[in-house]
Amino acid sequence: MIDDFPLLPQYPPKVRIEAHHVCNGEKSISISIDTALLQAVCGTNDANLKALENALGSPITVRGNEIETPGLDNDSRQRFNYVMENLKAAASSGETPDEEYVRSVLACFSGTGRETPIRENLITVPHGFSKVYPRGPGQAEYVRGMRTADITFCVGPAGTGKTYLAIAMALSQVMNKKARKLILTRPVVEAGESLGYLPGDLAQKINPYLRPLYDAMEALVPFDFISRMEENRSIEIAPLAYMRGRSLNDAFIILDEAQNTTKEQMKMFLTRLGHKSRAVITGDTTQIDLPKRVDSGLLQALSILKGIDGIHISYLNTGDVVRHPLIKKIISAYEKESL
């Protein structure tokens, strides 16, 4: 059925939704979907519908081209409709949404009626392992900020996808020829260990500090693509100190672990932005490793730059954590301890 997508009309047929009362006062829903879209909407072996069933706690059945679910309360009905509209839109465009897509759509549902279609926040990385979707309203706002603002700040605890989404967006921009170069940088600040005692020359000493940036890229595209992009200088990874005196034109620049910049370093970095460039600054203000009596440049920037046109600031929290489920509990425990 996927082969038929190019033959679909430009504007796909609308999903018809009918609500029926059941005996317990809650409503069931029956949805008619164009037969050409049905397989993509349901997913392989109905995996999309099973993911939605688990989220709603209600069985979903398919009869012909009708998708039905009984006894939903108002909130669940809205979630069901929102997911189905997004699945239909993805299928109509020729995509094959999977259960990960369903979970991302559900995470972005707010119940306000003003949700953005999740495809508008899709990040497509050519030759990548998968398409990247935001996992919640906070991440969706962050992605929109990176698309619209010249400078985007994203602040949040570990595991909220700050670096991952920034690198996905950067790779998408560079590999789609919307930016000439991807520049990744971090301040080299020890978190309890001493840089001087690490073995090797300077490049070998700083490699552990830049390793998380490689990890994020390798999760998105094959390693040989990264190697080729480094060889042709489409990717540059360097410590923040190496940015001084440069003018960075036609580039997508990411400053990671920005909570460990000094005020002077942050000002220096922000003034490197050149023609046709964008910058994303990520950090976790609860993990500042600067020496005592040294103020964080990130904290100062967040205070003095808010409200400036062309600058977007996103704040993520424990609800946006997308790593191991235990990470949320660990962060919450530390937050309670600090109160």
Q: pLDDT tens digits for 10-27? A: 333 344 444 444 434 556
Residues 183, 102 within the same domain: no
Question: Does some domain include residue 26?
Answer: yes
Q: Is residue 329 part of a domain?
A: yes
Q: What is the pLDDT of residues 287-331, one digit of tens each?
A: 998 888 789 999 999 999 999 999 999 999 877 776 666 776 787
Phi, psi values for residue 123, rounded to 5°: -110, 115
Where is the domain boundary, 120, 146, 178? 120
Straight-line distance from the first to the last Cα atom of the chain, in angstroms, rounded to the nearest whole number: 56
For residue 321, give the CATH number of its domain: 3.40.50.300
pLDDT of residue 39: 92
Q: Do 80 and 179 lie in a common domain?
A: no
Check whether residue 217 and residue 314 sit in a common domain.
yes
Say yes or no: 48 and 159 in one domain.
Answer: no
Q: Is residue 126 part of a domain?
A: no
Residue 33 belongs to domain spanning: 2-120
Give yes or no: residues 210 and 255 share one domain. yes
Phi then psi dihedrals of residue 239, to 5 deg: -65, 155
* Residue where one domain finishes, among candidates 120, 155, 177: 120
User: Do residue 88 and residue 146 come from a single domain?
Assistant: no
* Domain-embedded: residue 228: yes
Q: Is residue 131 part of a domain?
A: no
> Residue 151: which of 267, 273, 253, 280 has the closest Cα?
280
Q: Which residues does the chain have with pLDDT short of 70?
A: 1-27, 113, 189-207, 322-325, 328, 338-339
Q: What is the percent of the chain with per-residue pLDDT over 70, rounded to a whole number?
A: 84
The whole-angstrom distance between residue 13's C-alpha and the CA centroid of its chain comes to 30
Per-residue pLDDT at 98: 87
Complete edge-to-edge strand list for the sheet that includes strand 16-21:
16-21, 27-32, 66-72, 61-63
Contact 253, 287 (CB under 8 A): no
Q: Is residue 129 part of a domain?
A: no
Domain boundary among 120, 145, 175: 120
Residue 251's pLDDT is what? 96
In terms of domains, do 194 and 324 share one?
A: yes
User: 10 Å Cβ neighbour count for 171?
Assistant: 29
Angle separating helix axes 47-56 and 99-107, nearest 10 degrees: 30
Three-state DSSP state, 314: strand
Is residue 249 in some structural domain?
Answer: yes
137-157 residues labelled b (16+ CB within 10 A) or e (exposed): bbbbbbbbbbeebebbbbbbb
The count of domains in the chain is 2
Based on the fold, state whether residues 30 and 78 are members of the same structural domain: yes
Q: Would the pTM count as exceeding 0.75?
A: yes
Would residue 132 count as lying in a domain?
no
Same structural domain for residues 75 and 218?
Answer: no
- Residue 323 in tokens: 């790593």
Cα–Cα distances (Å) from 111 to 20, 58, 115, 121, 314, in that order, read 21, 19, 8, 18, 20
| One domain for residues 89 and 176 | no
